[in-house]
Amino acid sequence: MDAGAEPDAEIESGGGTWRFPAGKPLRLDSGATLPNLEVAYKTYGRLNETRTNAILVCHALTGDQHAASVNPATGRPGWWDNVIGAGLPLDPGRYFIIATNVVGGCMGSTGPASTNPKTGHPYALSFPVITIADMVRAQAMLIEALGIETLLAVVGGSMGGMQVLQWAADYPEKLFSAVCIAAAPRHSAQNIAFHEVGRQAIMADPDWRGGAYEAAGVRPEKGLAVARMAAHITYLSEPALQRKFGRELQRDGLSWGFDADFQVESYLRHQGASFVDRFDANSYLYITRALDYFDLAAQRGGTLAEAFATARGVRFCVLSFSSDWLYPTAESRDIVRALNAAGCRASFAEIETDKGHDAFFLDEPQLDRTLRGFFASTAQARGL
Amino acid sequence: MPAFREDFAEILRLVRPGARVLDVGCEDGELLDLLTREKRVDGQGLEISPAGVSACLAKGLAVVQGDGDRDLDHFPTRAFDYAILSKTLQQMRDPRHVLSELLRIADQAIVSVPNFGHWRMRVSLMMRGRMPETRALPDPWWSTPNIHLCTLRDFTDLCRELDLRVDACAALSGGKPARSIRPDGLLENWRSETALFLLSRRAEDRPEATPQNLFGEVVLPKSEGAKPKPRRRKT
């Protein structure tokens, strides 16, 4: 276990990489097993004596374990530092907050860029296809290794929200509460379609080399950037794009060519270019695949409520954003209906915002109020 | 000023301890919170306003943001012992549908409705020739949220049509103690300002409740006073 760097002096943080022994492989939904599993994680705050204040934070597609401290790969603040921090809804002075990098990721957990112990080379495309349930299983192994029997909460947005639902389906006895933000119980045709565009962009890049780019000393940066650009549009909303950029030009007048004339083009190019510095193309393929395969009802004979049949003791909070067209409110309502049908204790709120799917990273007063109220009352109910 | 709304005191009397309760239009969760503390109910709210939803969550109540007209389909059949709809049936787009939904979701519904047949209404309309504006229904016609007003007799007719049984009925008026009434009584349609009904599906075998047992002198539980609001400071 490596000691993690502590760039954020304000809150107590820890973490590192948990290496599971070869005799304890991760068993995958595909039937394959992943030996020598490594799970990179960060912690904020301190576990209390009764071990009842632990909260697991699950990240979205391109997120990582650096939820509330400076990300060493980018030098930028943690992706949820407006929610985790002193005086914020998830206060490390009160809770022990754990954030992991998902299996299949590229920030320290075992993924396609990791070395295959059998060959001594990076897995690349020999890495087995993983699922959301596999990610959750790896997290559950870490939680157990950390000596935590039950989590006060598991919380996440987007793909993180899907992990939350999977936790409730697979490990309800380990949860006191579950907060699912801007997610869906399955990937829709449109979700899959956008991901396929991204994957095809990566695979069409000559530098992808059938996934073996690392061995060739190149990276499919153009393809990965295009994938990110296409995906980024789905995280915003039409009004937000209009408000931010409109038809504003980069310079005076048009170039009468194909430079980035419009500010929105320049913005997207920047999003693509900065993404390739921090993300691995094969990880992007694997994680988008995991999302596409996600269908919680299909795992339980086609009835979503069945997935929550054993989760009656869990306090649920489901949140959506009014302008999110990637995982629209109707899909969150499907989750709530299923929770109610299963007899679970469920709360639901639709946060009014024009900022689209990415609103869960942003300062939204209503989101802040809702999370604050839910976590405070949950902690009280747990006797904290 | 009473510790809480007069209809809340009545509802508190009606609800069995430990029951499963759905409060449709629960606002900031005051009634659910009261029922949870006093009757240990397993409560669930449905509320349309974001502020109400946040307030409920802060109280630790389970609440779904939604609209009684549209979102009652969130709840499975017979998931609750009671579904409560307090003073808002007349604001629904389709009260008939809402009423039958309440009794799909719950074994019993607790519904309160302002009586448009109250003498103040009648006199006001007759003397002034204008839409009545009374203490029970104070808004002018052009801004009132009450789009489906009815008289006591209209309401009991609808219950009959939907094959619902009135297990109990009480008249509420301006802070006075609730009065158990026979809702189909001719006089009550003149003198009850608001009526609170306990309804169930007629088809079911349920012992007839005597209204006199369910309503009587109202004993308000000691109010614990307003709880301090959690600080919502954004740092």
Average pLDDT estimate for B122-151 = 92
The residue among B86, B81, B22, B78 whose CA lies nearest residue A346 is B22
**Is A274 in the active site?**
no
Contact A377 B76 (CB under 8 A): no
Place of tokens 């990179």: A40
Query: Does B176 score more than 90 pLDDT?
Result: no
Q: How far is B3 from chain A (nearest CA, A)?
A: 24
- Window from A342-351, B165-174, B215-224 with minimum mean pLDDT: B215-224
- The domains found in chain A, sorted by start residue, are 7-187+296-381 (3.40.50.1820), 190-290 (1.10.1740.110)
Contact A378 B60 (CB under 8 A): yes
Interface residue ranges in chain B relative to chain A, Cβ cutoff 8 Å: 42, 44, 50, 53-66, 71, 73-76, 79, 230, 232-235
Residue B86, strand partner residues: B112
In this predicted structure, what is the pLDDT of residue A10? 59
Which of A347, A369, A380 has the CB atom closest to B232's CB atom?
A: A369
Instruction: Report how far residue B123's alpha carbon sits from residue B113's, in angstroms, rounded to the nearest whole number.
Output: 19
Q: Which residue of A has its CA nearest to B75?
A: A340
**What confidence tier does B206 reach under pLDDT thresholds 50, 70, 90?**
low
The H or E element that residue A154 is part of is strand A153-157
**What confidence tier does B228 reach under pLDDT thresholds 50, 70, 90?**
very low
Which of B63, B65, B230 has the CB atom closest to A376's CB atom?
A: B230
Which of B50, B230, B233 has the CB atom closest to A349's CB atom?
A: B50
Q: How far is B44 from chain A (nearest CA, A)?
A: 8
- Predicted complex ipTM exceeds 0.95: no
Contact B232 A336 (CB under 8 A): no
Contact B50 A88 (CB under 8 A): no
Cβ-Cβ contacts under 8 Å, A346 against chain B? 62, 64
In this predicted structure, what is the pLDDT of residue B86? 87
Residue A348, strand partner residues: A318, B64
Which of B42, B65, B76 has the CB atom closest to A340's CB atom?
A: B76
φ and ψ at residue B58, rounded to 5 degrees: -65, -25
Burial of A367 (0-12, 13-18, 19+ CB in 10 A): buried
Q: Which residue of A has its CA nearest to B45?
A: A347
| Contact (Cβ atoms closer than 8 angstroms) between residue A44 and residue A69 | yes
Q: Which residue of B has its CA nearest to A340?
A: B75
Longest dimension (CA), chain A: 67
**What confidence tier does B202 reach under pLDDT thresholds 50, 70, 90?**
confident
Query: Within an 8 Å CB–CB cutoff, is residue A309 touching chain B?
Result: no
User: Catalytic pick from A8, A261, A280, A324?
Assistant: A324
Which of A340, A363, A372 has the CB atom closest to B74's CB atom?
A: A340
**Is A324 in the active site?**
yes
In this predicted structure, what is the pLDDT of residue B5? 73
Mutate to test the interface with A, among B36, B61, B74 (most CBs of A within 10 A): B74
Query: Within an 8 Å CB–CB cutoff, is residue A372 touching chain B?
Result: yes
The overall average pLDDT reported for chain B is 86
pLDDT 10s digit of each residue in chain A, 384 long? 344 444 444 578 899 999 999 999 999 999 999 999 999 999 999 999 999 999 999 999 999 999 999 999 999 999 999 999 999 999 999 999 999 999 999 999 999 999 999 999 999 999 999 999 999 999 999 999 999 999 999 999 999 999 999 999 999 999 999 999 999 999 999 999 999 999 999 999 999 999 999 999 999 999 999 999 999 999 999 999 999 999 999 999 999 999 999 999 999 999 999 999 999 999 999 999 999 999 999 999 999 999 999 999 999 999 999 999 999 999 999 999 999 999 999 999 999 999 999 999 999 999 999 999 999 999 999 999
Q: Where are the beta strands (DSSP E) in chain A?
A: 13-19, 26-27, 33-34, 38-44, 54-58, 96-100, 153-157, 177-181, 315-321, 345-351
Query: Does B2 score more than 80 pLDDT?
Result: no
**End-to-end Cα distance, chain B:** 37
Place of tokens 């004596």: A49
Pairing outcome for strands A96-100 and A153-157:
unpaired
| Contact (Cβ atoms closer than 8 angstroms) between residue A298 and residue A161 | no
Cβ-Cβ contacts under 8 Å, B22 against chain A? none
Query: Does B233 score more than 60 pLDDT?
Result: no
**Is A187 in the active site?**
no
Which of B60, B66, B76 has the CB atom closest to A381's CB atom?
A: B60
The residue among A374, A377, A361 whose CA lies nearest residue A83 is A361
Cβ-Cβ contacts under 8 Å, A347 against chain B? 53, 56-57, 61-64
In this predicted structure, what is the pLDDT of residue B214? 57
Instruction: Report how far residue B177's alpha carbon sits from residue B6's, in angstroms, rounded to the nearest whole number.
Output: 8
Burial of A87 (0-12, 13-18, 19+ CB in 10 A): exposed
Instruction: Report how far residue B10's alpha carbon sits from residue B172's, in angstroms, rounded to the nearest whole number.
Output: 9
User: Catalytic pick from A13, A158, A320, A332?
Assistant: A158
Cβ-Cβ contacts under 8 Å, B74 against chain A? 333, 336-337, 340
Q: Provide the 10 A C-beta neighbour count for residue A23.
A: 6
Contact A372 B230 (CB under 8 A): yes
Q: How far is A360 from chain B (nearest CA, A)?
A: 16
Instruction: Report how far residue A53's alpha carbon sits from residue A383's, in angstroms, rounded to the nearest whole number.
Output: 10
Q: How far is B41 from chain A (nearest CA, A)?
A: 13
In this predicted structure, what is the pLDDT of residue B178? 86
Q: Which residues contact A273 (CB under 8 A, 6 or more apart)?
A: A225
